[in-house]
Amino acid sequence: MHRVGGYRPGTGDLKDMEIFLIVLGIAVGGAATYAYMSGRTAQQQVPAPKQPEQESPRNLRDPLTDALELIDHGVVVIDGRGAEIFRNSAAAVVADARDGRSLVESRVQELVVEALDGRTKRSTVELFGPPARFFEVSAFPVKIGSGNGALAMIEDRTEFRRTETIRRDFVANISHELKSPIGALGLLAETLGDEEDPELRQRLAGRMVSETSRAARTIDDLLELSRIEFGEDAEFADLEVAAVVAEAVGRIQNAADQAGVEVSAAGENGLLISGDRRQLTSAIYNLLENSVKYSDSGSGVEVGFTEDSNRRVVEIVVADQGIGIPRRDLDRVFERFYRVDPARSRNTGGTGLGLAIVRHVAANHGGKVSASSVEGQGSRFVLNLPMRVTPSAELSETGGVQ
């Protein structure tokens, strides 16, 4: 009944097309209307030199068609006879798809039948993938000329769903992470109030201090993560990699000494990157802190930094001989609050946010971080950052200046 792909630019009379396009403009949230109206207003206000071909029906439609082509949503218009008279490219992709998206097209056809009968309909199509995808299909009755037609819209909601899920999980995780130390504090305080033995009171007070600092560390890391995520206070400058590494190593030295882990750093001097000093130091510090935390006393941690001029990146490597990370967890350790061994992480003061911070810093600098590990033998984290192109490098690249 419904013919697909029957739209031919330039067919239909002006009146019909104008009405239909205005309806369309309203339906797609004003963007198209704006383009159309602003085009018309400009024509009305400024008496432009007469350009006969611009006033022809065919050309009056173009700005709107262009606007509809530019939007991400799929738009399909069906006339009263059930013939498809318009389909933008986003909707054409769905119609031509040979994968699960053909289900979306089937849903469009179903809803259009309802809309032609005067009913507005919406429906969600879930494609299980992988990767899973979500589409929202809606169909509305519209007037086309003197007849009744239908307008269908297809919206890809995959990204929206994904961020919604991340947000929901994040809030749930934060609540969980803060609930445990705060719950523990309540219990400890209650017990402390009833306890008379000074030694026990001392111990309980000590536990309260450590639970408080656990909550404080989580909050600090969350704030740091959000600062880095939103790029607040970021100040990009030319930085020498050796200096940034030295600063991070200096900060970890105390903890490393206490853990009996030796930290050493070596690399090429004079390597430059463009970056935010605070973020980069924090990223390298977080990698070092993990290496120290997850290593036994007597082992060593090495930091190396080199340039890979072919790939135009600086590579900063932090390698340890610690407990290692099981292969199945390697991809997930960069997720917020993901821990291979939650008990060990908590005992060592971990918040589960360190590697999420590192990943964000890398992304903010146009780089990336990766991990490899052999369980029981150690882990190796590689931070790749784009090299700062020095003026001489730029010159040689373009063949120099005479």
Q: Which is nearer to ligand ADP, 195 or 262 (CB)?
A: 262
Contact call for residue 291 and ligand ADP (CB under 6 A): yes
Least Å distance, CB 92 to ligand ADP, is 44
Least Å distance, CB 291 to ligand ADP, is 5
Q: Which is nearer to ligand ADP, 125 or 333 (CB)?
A: 333
Window contacting ligand ADP (CB under 6 A); options: 94-102, 259-267, 283-291, 304-312: 283-291
Contact call for residue 322 and ligand ADP (CB under 6 A): yes
Length of the chain as a residue count: 402
- What are the CA-CA distances from residue 115 to residues 62, 82, 383 (Å)? 26, 11, 54
Window contacting ligand ADP (CB under 6 A); options: 80-88, 190-198, 241-249, 332-340: 332-340
Least Å distance, CB 261 to ligand ADP, is 11
Window contacting ligand ADP (CB under 6 A); options: 102-110, 152-160, 223-231, 345-353: 345-353
The 3 state secondary structure assigned to 355-369 is HHHHHHHHHHCCCEE
Contact call for residue 285 and ligand ADP (CB under 6 A): no
Tally of CA atoms within 13 A in the half-sphere of 40 that contains its CB: 10
Least Å distance, CB 361 to ligand ADP, is 13
Q: Which is nearer to ligand ADP, 294 or 305 (CB)?
A: 294
- What are the CA-CA distances from residue 126 to residues 100, 103, 107 (Å)? 9, 9, 11
Contact call for residue 302 and ligand ADP (CB under 6 A): no
Of 88, 138, 321, 345, the one binding ligand ADP (CB under 6 A) is 345
Q: Which is nearer to ligand ADP, 138 or 351 (CB)?
A: 351
Site for ligand ADP in 362-401 (CB under 6 A): 379
Distance between CA atoms of 317 and 117, rounded to whole angstroms? 65
Contact call for residue 352 and ligand ADP (CB under 6 A): yes
Window contacting ligand ADP (CB under 6 A); options: 2-10, 21-29, 319-327, 387-395: 319-327
Contact call for residue 25 and ligand ADP (CB under 6 A): no
Least Å distance, CB 78 to ligand ADP, is 52
Window contacting ligand ADP (CB under 6 A); options: 52-60, 64-72, 267-275, 347-355: 347-355
Tally of CA atoms within 13 A in the half-sphere of 128 that contains its CB: 0
Of 137, 151, 325, 369, the one binding ligand ADP (CB under 6 A) is 325
Q: Which is nearer to ligand ADP, 86 or 294 (CB)?
A: 294
Window contacting ligand ADP (CB under 6 A); options: 22-30, 50-58, 248-256, 343-351: 343-351
Of 350, 359, 367, 385, the one binding ligand ADP (CB under 6 A) is 350
Say what angle helices 14-27 and 57-70 make with each other, to 10 degrees: 20
Contact call for residue 136 and ligand ADP (CB under 6 A): no
Contact call for residue 355 and ligand ADP (CB under 6 A): yes
Number of residues that bind ligand ADP (CB under 6 A): 23
Window contacting ligand ADP (CB under 6 A); options: 10-18, 144-152, 246-254, 335-343: 335-343
The residues of the shown chain that bind ligand ADP, judged by CB under 6 A, are 286, 290-291, 294, 320, 322-325, 333, 338-341, 345, 350-356, 379
